């Protein structure tokens, strides 16, 4: 009987709380609200890179939160965008709707073209994924440095383009080498391939010296892509016989875009993506041991007359101007040569 009494007391304990003790044992609604108010606040969910003017340099970051927040113009000092050793400078910030209260904002950046690669050419940034961080804004959870990567939202551009002249009297032997700012593919995700038509991917125009503009001209015709490298470069010959001069500018065809980058967002080139002036990298004339003066070459093919001041050759990894009005022998494999031996005064 004594054992039974102890059992009853044990089972009865939960029901012996006083009203005040019960109140202390259960969290009140006011305490729940207080804990919520002390939470970190809205959380950054995405930061998307932008190249709005299509010149290949990042000029904005589109920032998204999981709730509506207020970010004032002076809060740009709290935000940092870093890529490798580059710290972008913030210009301004505003909500996508134009106000300071929103869940999505546009952070405008000052373009940074200080990163250099490949023959002192500026690095194109459309494939860059910088880090974003900020702290100290009430109602927004801090993002610590180098913990949050941006998402690729910038469309591809042309990085540079080269013309290799292997026979100045035969334009059809000219090889055009096109390099993109990042790997690209067809809109459906399939890879660029040998047999694609160059004019469907690229567009050309001719620099108008008098106006400073660029007159649209299609010189690519039905030239076929012959080689594709790492989804970011393609080569073809000017088999249609059209001359590509130093005044010819190329960009990605924006009218009927057929390519996009290979990021998850499949970013397409902007309508105003950068126009790139072609570089003439090497010249070769198939007459053994004789360097042809430009005057003779121009007489054979007047289409090259305008390019004489621009011909450059590649030697020891550097670009140098051709001197003394001579066409130097520069072989495809860039063999070491004696400049004096192949110079015509």
**110 and 168 fall within a common domain:** no
Summarised one tens digit per residue, pLDDT across range 115-166 is 876 566 779 999 999 999 999 998 999 999 999 999 999 999 999 999 888 7
- Which of 278, 254, 247, 160 lies closest to 201, judged by CA? 254
Question: CA–CA separation, 125 vs 159, rounded Å?
Answer: 10
**66 and 209 fall within a common domain:** no
Task: With H, G, I as helix, E, B as strand and everything else as coil, classify residue 68.
Answer: strand
Residues paired with residue 216 on neighbouring β-strands, in sequence order = 205
177, 162 Cβ separation under 8 angstroms = yes
**195 and 255 fall within a common domain:** yes
**190 and 101 fall within a common domain:** no
Least confident piece of the model among 84-98, 210-224, 244-258, 301-315: 301-315
Count of CA atoms in the C-beta half-sphere (13 A) of 89: 6
- Residue 79 burial (CB < 10 Å; 0-12/13-18/19+)? buried
174, 163 Cβ separation under 8 angstroms = yes
Q: Check residue 39 and give its pLDDT.
A: 52
Average confidence (pLDDT) over 79-93: 96
Domain count, the chain: 2
Average confidence (pLDDT) over 56-69: 97
Q: What six digits make up the tokens of 108?
A: 């405008």
Q: Return left, alpha or beta for 154; rule: phi > 0 is left, psi -120 to 50 is alpha, else beta.
A: beta
**104 and 168 fall within a common domain:** no
Structural domain contains residue 187 = yes
Least confident piece of the model among 35-44, 74-83, 205-214, 284-293: 284-293
Summarised one tens digit per residue, pLDDT across range 43-62 is 999 999 999 999 999 999 99
**209 and 317 fall within a common domain:** yes
Does residue 268 carry a pLDDT above 90?
A: yes
Count CB atoms within 10 A of the CB of residue 13: 8
Q: Check residue 119 and give its pLDDT.
A: 60
Chain centroid to Cα 168, Å, comes to 34
Count CB atoms within 10 A of the CB of residue 57: 22
**107 and 71 fall within a common domain:** yes
220, 204 Cβ separation under 8 angstroms = yes
**166 and 55 fall within a common domain:** no
Structural domain contains residue 53 = yes
Question: CA–CA separation, 180 vs 165, rounded Å?
Answer: 21
**Greater pLDDT, 22 or 215:** 215
Least confident piece of the model among 219-223, 278-282, 330-334: 330-334
Confidence of residue 255 (pLDDT cuts 50, 70, 90): confident
- Domain encompassing residue 267: 158-342
Q: Check residue 213 and give its pLDDT.
A: 83
Average confidence (pLDDT) over 314-334: 34
- Which of 134, 41, 151, 146 lies closest to 93, judged by CA? 134
Question: CA–CA separation, 76 vs 312, rounded Å?
Answer: 45
Does residue 299 carry a pLDDT above 60?
A: no
Does residue 254 carry a pLDDT above 90?
A: no
Mean pLDDT for the chain overall: 76
Structural domain contains residue 27 = no
Structural domain contains residue 324 = yes
Average confidence (pLDDT) over 239-263: 88
Q: What percent of the chain has pLDDT over 90?
A: 49
Count CB atoms within 10 A of the CB of residue 304: 22
Chain centroid to Cα 197, Å, comes to 23
- Which of 161, 195, 194 lies closest to 176, judged by CA? 161
**190 and 298 fall within a common domain:** yes
Q: Check residue 325 and give its pLDDT.
A: 31
């Amino acid at each position: 009987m004594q054992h039974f009494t102890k059992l009853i007391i044990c089972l009865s304990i939960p029901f012996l709380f006083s009203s005040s003790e019960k109140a202390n044992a259960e969290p009140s609604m006011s305490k729940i609200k207080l804990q919520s108010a002390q939470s970190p606040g809205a959380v950054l969910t995405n930061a998307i890179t932008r190249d709005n003017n299509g010149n290949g340099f990042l000029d904005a970051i589109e920032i998204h939160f999981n709730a509506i927040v207020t970010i004032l113009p002076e809060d740009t000092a709290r935000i940092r965008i870093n890529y490798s050793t580059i710290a972008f400078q913030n210009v301004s910030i505003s909500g996508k709707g134009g106000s300071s209260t929103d869940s999505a904002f546009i952070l405008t950046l000052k373009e940074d073209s200080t990163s250099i690669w490949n023959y002192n050419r500026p690095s194109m940034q459309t494939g860059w994924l910088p880090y974003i961080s900020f702290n100290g804004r009430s109602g927004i959870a801090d993002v610590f440095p180098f913990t949050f990567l941006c998402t690729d939202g910038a469309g591809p551009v042309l990085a540079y383009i080269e013309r290799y002249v292997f026979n100045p009297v035969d334009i059809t032997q000219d090889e055009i080498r096109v390099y993109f700012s990042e790997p690209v593919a067809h809109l459906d995700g399939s890879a660029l391939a040998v047999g694609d038509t160059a004019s469907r991917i690229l567009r050309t125009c001719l620099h108008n010296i008098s106006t400073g503009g660029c007159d649209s001209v299609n010189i690519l015709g039905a030239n076929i892509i012959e080689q594709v490298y790492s989804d970011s470069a393609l080569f073809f010959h000017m088999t249609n016989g059209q001359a590509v001069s130093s005044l010819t500018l190329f960009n990605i065809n924006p009218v009927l875009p057929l390519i996009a980058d290979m990021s998850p967002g499949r970013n397409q080139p902007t309508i105003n993506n950068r126009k790139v002036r072609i570089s003439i990298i090497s010249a070769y004339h198939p007459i053994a041991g004789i360097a042809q003066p430009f005057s003779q070459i121009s007489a054979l093919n007047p289409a090259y007359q305008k390019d004489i001041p621009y011909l450059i050759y590649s030697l020891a990894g550097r670009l140098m101007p051709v001197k003394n009005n001579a066409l130097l022998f520069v072989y495809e494999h860039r063999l070491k040569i004696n400049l004096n031996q192949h110079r015509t005064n």
